[in-house]
Structure formats: structure tokens, C-alpha cells
């Protein structure tokens, strides 16, 4: 089984690999249910979805009826104003067929103007705080993408004491000195405050070339089992963080199998060799 760790201050012990439910956005219920069997086989007990992930929330609803109280349930919203975010929260609850979620996150909060709106009076954060008071959400997080997001999350934690953050983490991205410096500082702050750190894009290979687009991930992923092993083990080698799984149901078993077999992270020479033979490129510059 995949090891577990305390998910920040929530009191929940989550598997160190969290199911990234973007992979369910455009699949049938039959495929989704087959994916559930994979998750149960590996003991995954935490789902991360979003209102904007196509039909993902709808696909998850039957799982929650079948496996009550098994999953820590997280979703996200993209609206930046209080009214819009409030509507998104309610829509997610309706689609998931639940009366509350464990974690609601302000999704992809990177643009400076949107950031200020969401975290100012009348913004999405106010909707989340009201929902928390009403018992509709238990915890509040923030997510984002891009080379600047570690620095942005640091600003977000200065503005509000979020319960979780989510951002990219892989070997090639951490070769960017600016990103690495801010990621390390962010993780240090999160450890001090007991804020959960979720990471994405562990098996990112490079941006898509249009002719090669044959997966449901928005980036081209690594596909060789040996390469996926190295990438997953490298990410899991950092204590205190969680790895959100790949957005492709066919690659999911490879990620989970690697996580199950994790013992220690590969050294830098192994990771450099992976970059060279796979021609991995950073997603953000």
C-alpha cells in the first residue's frame, strides 16, 4: 500500500499520492468506476477534483455513495468574486451529491489582478469563509501553476492562513533557481504553520507538440515505467509533501505502482541521465 502522512492541520492521514481527478473529466462512468477499483487496490484515500474538470465531480458522486467516509474530498473553484465562488461551491456540492467537502480551494490563483480580487473583501475567499462557517467546507486551500506560483503562494499565506497549497514540483522545474528558492521558502513556511503541501506534474516531460497529443494531460507526460519510477520516487523523496497523480487514467496505475514501491529517492546523476535521454523540457520559463 502507498504510505500515508498527516495532511497538514486537518487531522487526516492521506496517502502520499492523492488522486488527481482531472483524469475523469472526459471519461464514461464505466471507466471512472474501473479507476476507483485501481485506487482501492492501492489504498488511495484522498481525491482532488475541481468544478472546472469537465464531468469529474459527476463521476465521483457514485464512488462516495459506494465508499462512504473512505475519501478525503477536495474540490476547487475558478470564480474570483464572492457571489460567483458561492455559486461554484454549491454547484460542486450538488454535483458531488454531498452536504460538505473536506477542502475547497481557490483554483489557479496566479494572475496579480485576480489574486487581489479573490483575497480582498467581496472576493472568493469571503465565500469560502462563509461556507466554512456554515459547515459546507472544512478547510480552505489555494492552488496555482507557472514559474511564479511558489512566490505567489508565499504572498497568499501572508494574506491569509490557508490550510493547503498546491503547485508544480519535479526535477526539471526545480533546476530553475528562482522557482527553487521560492519553493523551498514556501515549504519551510508551510512546515512552520502545519499547512499541507500538494504537488503536481511530477511526471511532466515537456509541453505538447500538437501532432503528439495523445494523452488527457495538458503537458506531455513521461510514459516509460522506468522513467515514471524515477520521477515519482524523486518527488516522494521530499518529506512532508504530497504528490497529486497524473491526469490520465491509463498512466495512473504506473504512478501508483511506483509510489507503492518507493524506498528512497534517486540521486542527481540518475535524474540528469533521465533528462538527457528523454529530452525533458521545463513547462514554464
Report the 3 state secondary structure along the chain.
CCCEEECCCCCCEEECEEEEHHHHCCCCHHHHHHHHHHHHHHCCCEEECCCCCCCHHHHHHHHHHHCCCCCEEEEEECCCEHHHHHHHHHHHHHHHCCCCEEEEEECCCCCHHHHHHHHCCCEHHHHHHHHHHCCCEEEEEEECCCCCHHHHHHHHHHHCCCCEEEEECCCCHHHCHHHHHHHHHHHHHHHHHCCEEEEECCCEEECCCHHHCCCCCCCEECCCHHHHHHHHHHHHCCCCEEEECCCCCCCHHHHHHHHHCCCCCCCHHHHHHHHHHHCCCCCCC
Residue 186 has pLDDT above 90, yes or no: yes
Domain that holds residue 110: 4-278
Query: What's the rounded mean pLDDT across residues 179-208?
Result: 95
Q: What is the rounded radius of gyration, in angstroms, for the C-alpha atoms of the chain?
A: 18
Report yes or no on 93 lying in a domain: yes
Query: What's the rounded mean pLDDT across residues 220-235?
Result: 95
Report yes or no on 10 lying in a domain: yes
Report yes or no on 283 lying in a domain: no
Instruction: Calculate ∠ Cα 273-278-226, nearest 5°.
Output: 75
Instruction: Calculate ∠ Cα 278-282-285, nearest 5°.
Output: 155
98-to-48, 50, 65, 126, 170 alpha-carbon distances in Å: 15, 14, 9, 21, 34
- Distance, in Å, from the CA atom of 208 to the CA atom of 230, rounded to the nearest integer, reads 21
Report yes or no on 35 lying in a domain: yes
Looking up residue 203, the CATH number of its domain turns out to be 3.20.20.100
Do residues 10 and 163 make contact, with C-beta atoms less than 8 angstroms apart?
Answer: yes
Predicted TM-score of the model (pTM): 0.97
Summarize pLDDT for 144-175 with one digit per residue, the tens. Answer: 999 999 999 999 999 999 999 999 999 999 99
Report yes or no on 200 lying in a domain: yes
Report yes or no on 148 lying in a domain: yes
Judged by average pLDDT, the poorest of 103-112, 205-214, 254-263 is 205-214
Copy the grid coordinates of residue 24.
475523469
Report yes or no on 284 lying in a domain: no
Summarize pLDDT for 33-59 with one digit per residue, the tens. Answer: 999 999 999 999 999 999 999 999 999
Number of residues that this document lists for the chain: 285
What's the domain count of the chain? 1
Average pLDDT value over all residues in the chain? 96
Copy the grid coordinates of residue 67.
465508499
Copy the grid coordinates of residue 107.
483554483
Query: What's the rounded mean pLDDT across residues 126-142?
Result: 98
Amino acid at each position: 500500500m502507498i504510505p500515508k502522512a498527516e495532511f497538514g492541520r486537518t487531522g487526516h492521514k492521506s496517502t502520499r499520492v492523492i488522486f488527481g481527478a482531472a483524469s475523469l473529466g472526459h471519461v464514461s462512468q464505466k471507466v471512472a468506476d474501473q479507476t476507483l477499483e485501481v485506487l482501492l487496490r492501492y489504498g488511495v484515500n484522498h481525491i482532488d477534483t475541481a468544478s472546472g474538470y469537465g464531468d469529474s465531480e459527476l463521476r465521483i458522486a457514485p464512488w462516495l455513495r459506494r465508499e462512504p467516509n473512505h475519501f478525503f474530498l477536495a474540490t476547487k473553484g475558478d470564480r474570483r468574486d464572492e457571489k460567483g465562488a458561492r455559486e461554484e461551491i454549491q454547484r460542486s456540492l450538488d454535483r458531488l451529491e454531498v452536504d460538505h467537502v473536506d477542502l475547497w480551494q481557490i483554483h489557479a490563483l496566479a494572475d496579480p489582478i485576480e489574486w487581489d480580487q479573490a483575497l480582498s473583501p467581496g472576493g472568493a475567499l469571503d465565500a469560502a469563509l462563509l461556507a466554512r462557517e456554515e459547515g459546507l467546507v472544512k478547510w480552505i486551500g489555494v492552488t496555482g501553476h507557472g514559474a511564479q506560483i511558489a512566490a505567489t503562494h508565499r504572498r497568499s499565506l501572508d494574506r491569509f492562513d490557508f490550510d493547503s497549497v498546491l503547485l508544480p514540483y519535479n526535477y526539471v522545474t526545480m533546476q530553475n533557481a528562482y522557482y527553487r528558492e521560492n519553493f523551498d521558502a514556501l515549504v519551510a513556511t508551510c512546515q512552520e504553520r502545519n499547512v499541507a503541501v500538494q504537488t503536481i506534474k511530477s511526471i511532466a516531460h515537456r509541453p505538447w507538440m500538437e501532432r503528439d497529443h495523445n494523452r488527457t494531460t495538458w503537458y506531455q507526460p513521461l510514459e516509460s515505467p522506468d522513467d515514471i519510477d524515477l520521477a515519482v520516487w524523486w518527488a516522494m523523496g521530499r518529506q512532508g509533501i504530497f504528490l497529486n497523480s497524473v491526469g490520465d487514467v491509463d498512466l495512473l496505475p504506473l504512478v501508483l505502482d511506483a509510489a507503492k514501491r518507493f524506498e528512497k529517492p534517486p540521486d542527481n546523476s540518475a535524474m540528469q541521465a533521465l533528462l538527457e535521454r528523454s529530452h525533458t523540457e521545463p513547462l514554464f520559463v
